[in-house]
Structures are given as C-alpha cells and as structure tokens.
C-alpha cells in the first residue's frame, strides 16, 4: 500500500511517521507513506496558497490550483487514481471498520485542510469521501490524517508481526479488548487472574472473550447491543429421547 499526504506541514507529519512501528515499516518497505508540501505547487514567489473567502467572513481559504497540481503530481507517479480523502469535520466519523475497508485500496491520497478550509471546487473534482476523527474542530487536517494513516498502515502485511496483533484489539471484531497483565505476578497485593497462568489455551481464550463482552457491555452498551444482534446465541441442543 502507498499513502500520500498533501499538507502545509510535511515536517510535522514526517516527525510522527518516522518513529516507532510505522518508521520501521517504512524503512523496511512494508508500506510507503509520502508527505507532500502543497506550497511547492503555489506558482508564486511567496508560495502563497490561500486567499480571502468570496462573500466575506473570517479567515482564509486554501486555493484550488495548488492542491490540484499537487494531486496531479502524485497521480503521475501511480498506475491508477488514488482513493482521495479530505480530512474534514463535516465528514463521516472514522471507525475501525472504516479503517479495515480502506485497507482494500492500494493507493490513498489524504488531503489536509487548514485555515477556514478548502475551495469547494477542488474537493468536488478530486475527493472521493470526507472523513472526520470526531465531533470537534482542529486547526488543520494533519493530526486526523496521521490518525487515519496509522490505523490503516498497522493492518498492512509486514507492519506488525502477525494479523493476530490487531485482530484481537478493541473494535476490530466489534468488541472492546480484554484486560492485559504482565510481570510481576503480584503487584500492590493484586494478583494476575489464575486462568492466565494456567497454560490452558482454551480456558484463556474463553476468559478473554468473556472479559471483552463484559467490558463492552459496561463501557459501550451500543457496541455490545450491535454485537449481540449480529451474533445471537445458538439455541440449546435438544437431548435425544431414548426409545
């Protein structure tokens, strides 16, 4: 997979994407992530990419041409059009299921707005969907783009040691994750649940699933209800009557 991020602050994005798991995945070639400076496509000596909004109002609006030229330059490097996402508080709220669906695209282009937003004409021309990471407003689209890139990238082959690393986490299968424990066995008088020390894989798996159900029911009853509706309990087996 390749992800391209168009932004006014590529250094900010690079600082995050060059560290930890994603940094190692980029270095190994497991995933490609490129950050592009929109100002490089300004076409004027001051590298200006914004102007006052028509109709008046506070703030500035990012111009269509620099964004479109940046997008076109990226498209010229790819064998097909990237799935293009504008990070916007007006977009669909991001979720784990959305991240899973985005993993199906080999090329993704993330557009980060700034100031008061982006000229609607370029959004209409290139954007496939708008995504928000929550019902609040940030100063720019960089942090949301990094959140989306991280959520997608970690599920790509070779980024994490195995698929189990993300398949058992909160939200992936519809439930919140079970609690974790590590050494020491007893800390501040609290012991690790005995089942985790038993070595019995089936009992451990059953305990973890029960914990996930309980945590989800307590903290996210909406998720719990949706999961139970999608996974109704099997009817009890009827005992055969002896003749």
pLDDT, tens only, 105-131 = 999 999 999 988 999 999 999 999 999
User: Is the full-model pTM beyond 0.85?
Assistant: no
When pLDDT is averaged across residues 158-185 and rounded to a whole number, the result is 74
pLDDT of 242 over the 80 cut:
no
- At residue 166, the pLDDT reads 47
Q: How many CB atoms lie within 10 A of CB 79?
A: 7
Q: How many CB atoms lie within 10 A of CB 49?
A: 25
Q: Are 195 and 207 in contact (CB under 8 A)?
A: yes
- At residue 172, the pLDDT reads 67
pLDDT of 46 over the 50 cut:
yes
User: Confidence class of residue 72 from pLDDT cuts 50, 70 and 90?
Assistant: very high
């Amino acid at each position: 997979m390749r992800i391209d991020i168009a932004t006014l602050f590529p250094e900010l994005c690079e600082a995050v994407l060059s560290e930890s798991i994603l940094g190692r995945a980029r270095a190994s070639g497991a995933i490609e992530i490129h950050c592009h400076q929109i100002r490089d496509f300004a076409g004027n000596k001051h590298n200006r990419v914004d102007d006052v909004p028509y109709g008046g109002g506070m703030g500035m609006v990012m111009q269509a041409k620099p964004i479109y030229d940046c997008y076109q330059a990226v498209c010229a490097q790819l064998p097909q059009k990237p799935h293009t996402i504008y990070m916007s508080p007006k977009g669909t709220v991001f979720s784990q299921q959305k991240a899973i669906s985005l993993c199906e695209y080999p090329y993704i282009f993330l557009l980060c707005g700034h100031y008061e937003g982006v000229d609607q004409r370029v959004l209409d021309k290139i954007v496939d969907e708008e995504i928000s990471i929550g019902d609040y407003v940030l100063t720019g689209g960089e942090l949301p783009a990094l959140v989306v890139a991280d959520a997608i990238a970690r599920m790509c082959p070779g980024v994490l040691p195995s698929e189990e690393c993300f398949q058992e986490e909160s939200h992936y299968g519809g439930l919140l994750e079970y609690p974790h424990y590590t050494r020491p066995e007893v800390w501040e008088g609290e012991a690790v649940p005995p089942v985790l020390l038993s070595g019995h894989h089936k009992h451990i798996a059953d305990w973890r699933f029960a914990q996930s159900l309980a945590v989800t029911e307590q903290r996210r009853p909406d998720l719990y209800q949706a999961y139970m509706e999608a996974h109704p309990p099997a009817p009890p087996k009827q005992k055969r009557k002896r003749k």
